[in-house]
């Protein structure tokens, strides 16, 4: 399957302002690109890319006073298969976790494990360990929260999502991540493209999506509490502890998002000769 994806983003700054963006395709998907995924800018300052502490491509620049436009468009090949389902995947004891998974057991900016631990153990302490425990958490979050773009709030934490019972995809991910960590299951936040591929189209503007990954059976698996069904065509941009680590842009001065358009469409299916 070939997917065309990209974005046009416009940011208004009062003065020259340093900016960090996490808007590149994740290095793990670089080999799937069929056209270059180059970020273009109308600013005079160069775009400097480097790998951050979580393995994402971080781009830095100096936004001009006025309007900064960032854009990209690319074609990427995807397997066309839905998210993997592995009911046999087992929890890894904390003492046996690899070092790079341990950090994803800890509380973080938007995932307050200390405030949700008692709830997590009350709800899921008796559920079967491993995949079924994570799926029980996802089912509960999916049913607990009501999705709506009108509920978006950049400061909402996992505990506040639990209390308010509303949110957008990042809130579904944050609450699920926090509950998994409370149950000693490493969980990390992921963001990227997820178009309406192999599902009925949604009558709403396309946006970036948030989901999460858990460490089971010695590897990471994808879960999505908002949709709660395996989906086709995820294109990863960045991973981190929570949304604070993978904000699409961070400006070090006053700024305002004035234009935002995301595109994710299937353009063809790839067939191989026998």
Mean pLDDT of all residues belonging to the chain: 96
pLDDT class for 224, splitting at 50, 70, 90?
Answer: very high
**pLDDT tens-digit profile of 191-204?**
999 999 999 888 78
pLDDT at 49 over 50: yes
Write down the pLDDT at residue 274: 38
> Residue 209: what pLDDT?
97
Q: Is the pLDDT of residue 22 over 90?
A: yes
Contact status, residue 107 vs residue 114, Cβ threshold 8 Å:
yes
* Average pLDDT of the segment spanning 146-152: 95
Q: Is the pLDDT of residue 211 over 80?
A: yes
What value does the mean pLDDT take over residues 233-238? 98
Q: What is the pLDDT of residue 270?
A: 60
Q: In angstroms, rounded to a whole number, what is the distance separating the alpha carbons of residues 103 and 241?
A: 8
pLDDT of residue 208: 96
What domains sit in the chain, N to C, each tagged with a CATH number?
A: 2-80+248-268 (2.60.40.2250), 94-244 (3.10.620.30)
For residue 271, what pLDDT is reported? 54
């Amino acid at each position: 399957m070939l997917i065309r994806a990209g974005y046009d983003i416009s940011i208004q700054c009062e003065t020259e302002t340093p900016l960090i963006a996490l808007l590149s395709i994740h290095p793990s998907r670089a080999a799937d690109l069929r056209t270059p995924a180059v970020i273009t800018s109308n600013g005079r300052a160069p775009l400097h890319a480097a790998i951050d502490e979580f393995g994402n491509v971080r781009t830095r620049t100096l936004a001009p006073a006025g309007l900064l436009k960032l854009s990209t468009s690319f074609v990427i090949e995807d397997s066309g298969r839905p998210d993997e389902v592995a009911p046999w995947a087992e929890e890894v004891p904390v003492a046996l976790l690899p070092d790079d998974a341990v950090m994803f057991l800890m509380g973080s900016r938007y995932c307050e494990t200390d405030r949700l631990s008692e709830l997590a153990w009350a709800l899921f302490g008796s559920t079967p360990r491993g995949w079924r425990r994570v799926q029980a958490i996802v089912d509960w979050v999916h049913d607990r929260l009501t999705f709506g773009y009108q509920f978006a709030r950049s400061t909402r934490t996992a505990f506040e999502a639990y209390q308010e019972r509303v949110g957008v995809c990042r809130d579904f991910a944050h609450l699920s991540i926090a509950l998994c960590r409370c149950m000693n299951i490493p969980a990390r936040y992921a963001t990227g493209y997820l178009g309406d591929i192999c599902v009925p189209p949604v009558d709403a503007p396309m946006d970036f999506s948030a989901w999460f990954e858990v460490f089971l059976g010695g590897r990471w698996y994808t879960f999505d509490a908002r949709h709660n069904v395996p989906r086709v065509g995820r294109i990863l941009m960045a991973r981190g502890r929570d949304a604070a680590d993978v904000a699409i842009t961070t400006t070090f001065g006053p700024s305002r998002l004035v234009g935002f358009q995301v595109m994710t469409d299937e353009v063809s299916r790839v067939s191989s000769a026998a």
